[in-house]
Amino acid sequence: MSRCYLAWAKDERIREKGADGGFVTATLVSALETGFIDAALVVEKKSVYEGIPVLTSNPEVVKECAGSLHAAPINLTKYVVEYAAEKRIGLPTKPCDARGIIEQAKRRQVNLDNIFMIGLNCGGTLHPLRMREMAADLYGLDPDSVVKEEIKEGKIFLESKEAGGKEKEAGIKIDELEQKGYGRRDACKSCVTKIPTSSDLACGNWGVPKGEEKKTFVEVLTAKGEAILKNAIDSGYVCIEEAPGEGIEMRKKIDAGMRKLAESWKERMDAVNALSRSERFDFYVNALKNCIHCGACKDVCPVCACEKDAKCLDMNDERDSYAISMYNVLRIFHLMDSCIHCGQCEDVCPVDIPLTLIQRRFSERMQRHLGYTPGMSVDEKPPLYETELRWSAESMVK
């Protein structure tokens, strides 16, 4: 199925506004105008530090939302479940959006036949607060004056309009930023799915040859992806050409490099690795005892499908005074097979519990043990729900 193209929007304005060639925007616009989809879910820029999801059937709104927001670490999964489960929709999906949607489909919260996932490669997002600190500390800019951010050739560029009307642009290497403790979110630094292979299309700038800017590299991954692409071409919204072999190779190489980097971040950031068994126990108890049971981490989690009738809520009682609350124990336990390490839970936690690390440590070892990666294929059920073990049974029983 997999075929690779370079593609771009025919409409010059979309192409100009789009992050790479406006292909994603043009495809969504054409699907809306031809009635191929009922609605599109895109991300509207409020400022450099804020992007909000909008569900719309107005092509003009979609055009307004062209471009990539790197400091808007949202996950679109729960918006699809809550507002668009009955609709035929198209949306841009970072790898973690696509994996979340697949997990919801496994739990019968959405019907994948109605969802067209235009995947975006993802090098990672920045936490808005870190981004503001970074602008002030390292770029010497007033955070509120920053009007544009861009990631190019491994550097983050910030463009600001200072009060006097003077324009400034500065770029600093991501490696350098991250050495100093700024840069991408922890979850993204250690995220190993950079190309959204569980989407219908995978789009990005990796693999676009030098000198060919304003084109999007597109990989067709499913029949649905092919259908929405064909619709966009036939209705005259996008142009495509065969991707050059060197581009395909280049993309593969960058992806492999990024994944290797992520593995090394994982090692470097995991403070628990060096601890003994009892120290590890103390770490978990101390980290989780700050929880105020606001429930935010559960609400945003793209793989949890329990809504209000959840065991972790039902079985939790503030009066228990367990060393770790039933809520936390059950959330960690239930996600061992399904956590996709997206870091949404940590982003919203009001008491800054290092949830990404905790969820990752428990789930990664389980997923390795199971030989299972969540969010990749709707045909693989969550192993915790299975009757049979995924591996040869006899060797496992004590």
Partner 1 sequence: MVKRLAEEKWEPKILAFCCNWCSYAGADAAGMERRQLPPAIRVIRVMCSGRIDPAFVLMGLLEGADAVLVTGCHIGDCHYVNANNKTRNRYEFLKEFVDELGLEPDRLWLRWISASEGALFADMVREVTEKIKKIGPSPLRRDWKK
Ligand X SMILES: Cc1cc2nc3c(=O)[nH]c(=O)nc-3n(C[C@H](O)[C@H](O)[C@H](O)COP(=O)(O)OP(=O)(O)OC[C@H]3O[C@@H](n4cnc5c(N)ncnc54)[C@H](O)[C@@H]3O)c2cc1C
What residues line the site for ligand X (CB under 6 A)? 18-25, 42-43, 51, 65-70, 72, 74, 92, 94, 120-123, 125, 203-206, 216
Nearer to ligand SF4, 14 or 304 (CB): 304
Taking CB within 5 to 8 Å according to partner kind, which of partner 1, ligand X, ligand SF4, none is near residue 121?
ligand X
- In the complex, minimum distance from the CB of residue 140 to partner 1, in angstroms, rounded to a whole number: 44
Residues at the interface with partner 1 (CB under 8 A): 277-284, 311, 315, 320-324, 326, 329-330, 332-333, 336-337, 361-362, 365-366, 369, 383-384, 386-389, 393, 396-398
Taking CB within 5 to 8 Å according to partner kind, which of ligand X, ligand SF4, partner 1, none is near residue 177?
none
Name the 3-class secondary structure at 387. Answer: coil
Name the 3-class secondary structure at 55. Answer: strand
Taking CB within 5 to 8 Å according to partner kind, which of ligand SF4, partner 1, ligand X, none is near residue 51?
ligand X
For position 296 contacting ligand SF4 by CB under 6 A, the verdict is yes
Binding part of the chain for ligand SF4, among 132-140, 147-155, 232-240, 286-294 by CB under 6 A, reads 286-294
| 71 DSSP 8-state letter | T
Nearer to partner 1, 13 or 281 (CB): 281
Nearer to ligand SF4, 65 or 71 (CB): 71
- Lay out the site mask for ligand SF4 across 354-393 (x = CB under 6 A, - = otherwise): -xx--x----------------------------------
Instruction: Tokens 């989407």: give the residue.
Output: 199
Closest to 81 (Cα-Cα) out of 52, 32, 41: 41
φ, ψ at 185 (rounded to 5°): -65, 155
What angle in degrees, to the nearest 10, is found between the helix axes of 23-33 and 223-234?
80
Name the 3-class secondary structure at 42. Answer: strand
Q: Where are the alpha helices (DSSP H) in 69-193?
A: 77-83, 95-106, 128-137, 174-179, 186-189
351, burial (CB in 10 Å: exposed 0-12, middle 13-18, buried 19+): exposed
For position 256 contacting ligand SF4 by CB under 6 A, the verdict is no
For position 177 contacting ligand SF4 by CB under 6 A, the verdict is no
For position 55 contacting ligand SF4 by CB under 6 A, the verdict is no
- In the complex, minimum distance from the CB of residue 21 to partner 1, in angstroms, rounded to a whole number: 45
Contact (CB, 8 A) for 340 and 93: no
Nearer to ligand X, 94 or 298 (CB): 94
Can you spell out the DSSP letters for 336-367?
A: TTT-----HHHHH-TT---HHHHHHHHHHHHH
Nearer to partner 1, 114 or 373 (CB): 373
- Evaluated on CA atoms 133, 190, 271, 336, the torsion sign reads positive
